[in-house]
A and B are shown apart, each in its own frame.
Chain A
Amino acid sequence: MFPRRYCKTETFGYSLMDAGVGSFIVSHALTSVQARGGASSSSDSRNGASATQRAREGLRSSISRILRSTAPLLALGFARLLTVRAVDYQSHVSEYGVHWNFFFTLACVAILSAATSRSMSPKQALWAGAGLALVYQLFLSVGGLGEFILHAPRVSLLSANKEGVCSAMGYLALYLVSLRLGHELVAAKEASLQAWRSKWNRLAVSAAANSDRGELSSTLNLLVSLF
């Protein structure tokens, strides 16, 4: 059996299954075109083409493109909603809400991020994401949104899905910050990794050479310089 302590937490806490959805959003951002686009326009012609193409495209066509690319997610969201209802599968209302599920969150984040980060550099996305996270947290703790999420009765369509709708903001902030991280990683000079590799190899050689002579200081120096 799956250990209960790794399962999703009800309201607060760290747990393995809580890390799943957040990590999904982060990896989604890391591998997105927005994160990869700016850095490697010359080396990856496909990304470069889509970036210039996007710049040329009007707002209307980009909206239709976003809707087209998120349509599968929305379809899956509704499919999950229907099937969960149909087979009466156990689902936690307090997780996302009565109708909401993670596919809707993904579609939401995709649409909102495309709408906001289109005109942003990754650096601006970092600040926007950090700002959004702070403002959202302010709303949660001071503005009474947290109270609303945890205790408000589910009367309307919005309040029935309050967790899903509100947490989409948090996921969007996470996505925007991760865009910057992804951009950093892509932009990382291969040269710096290459230098690290050669150091690593030298370390292995020097460790082998020095181990029988007892002169470990140079090896240790190399080891320290690796990290």
Chain B
Amino acid sequence: MPLLFSLQVWNAILWLLTGLCSALIESPSRRMVNLSYIVWMLALNLTLLLQFLLVDLCIDGDDEGEDDAATSARLKDDKERAAAGAHSTLDGSASASTALAAPAHAPRSTSSMLLEAVNKNSLAFFLLVSRTM
């Protein structure tokens, strides 16, 4: 694949550069943030990202059968259901069927609500977990 392949090529190049820089110039130094440190950080983060991407691709493999038409049809269905749900709660009746239908569609969300909440309040969360900083 072009993307994965180019990422891997860049990853290899960056690790090579890390070795070259620390051999020819100086070891990475966080105190100065020299060239070796910058290249090392890029290489390390690219490696981590690549691994996350691979794991994500392998785990998410089941979705693959769905083509765009099915997805959009499903989205349309969702919208209608949501509208119907709003309607029925306004009426104050017959929300049982929509409540039953909701869990079936919950996994459609690409990320968990918890992660999204953390993401939205990233600074507060960061301070919370690193109050020793």
Contacts and interface: CB of A to CB of B under 8 A. Distances in A.
Interface of A: 8-14, 18-19, 21-23, 25-27, 30, 72, 76, 80, 94-95, 102, 133-134, 136-137, 140-141, 146, 149-150, 163, 166-167, 169-171, 173-174, 177-178, 181, 185, 188-189, 192-201, 204, 226-227
A181 B46 contact: yes
Contact of B28 (A14, A21, A94): A14
Contacts of A226: 1, 4
Interface in B29-87: 29-35, 37-42, 44-46, 48-49, 57-58, 60-61, 63-64
B interface, size bucket: 35 or more
18 contacts: A8-B30, A12-B28, A14-B28, A19-B44, A27-B45, A72-B123, A102-B133, A140-B35, A167-B30, A170-B32, A170-B33, A171-B33, A174-B42, A192-B1, A193-B1, A196-B4, A197-B57, A197-B64
A141 B25 contact: yes
Given A12-B26, A173-B38, A146 B32 contact: yes
Contact of B35 (A30, A137, A185, A201): A137
B70 to A, nearest CB: 13
Interface of B: 1-5, 8, 25-35, 37-42, 44-46, 48-49, 57-58, 60-61, 63-64, 123, 127, 133
Most buried by A among B26, B34, B42: B34
A133 B36 CA distance: 10
Contact of B27 (A12, A173, A178): A12
A85 to B, nearest CB: 15
B128 to A, nearest CB: 13
Contacts of B58: 200
A174 B33 contact: yes
Contacts of A150: 31-32
B32 A167 contact: yes
Contacts of B28: 12-14, 18
Contacts of B39: 133
B3 A140 contact: no
B1 A196 contact: yes
A170 B45 contact: no
A170 B123 contact: no
A136 B28 CA distance: 14
Most buried by A among B29, B33, B35, B57: B33
A130 B60 CA distance: 35
Contacts of B133: 80, 102
B26 A22 contact: no
Nearest to A10: B31
B60 A197 contact: yes
Nearest to B126: A24
Given A170-B38, A189-B3, A200-B61, A23 B29 contact: no
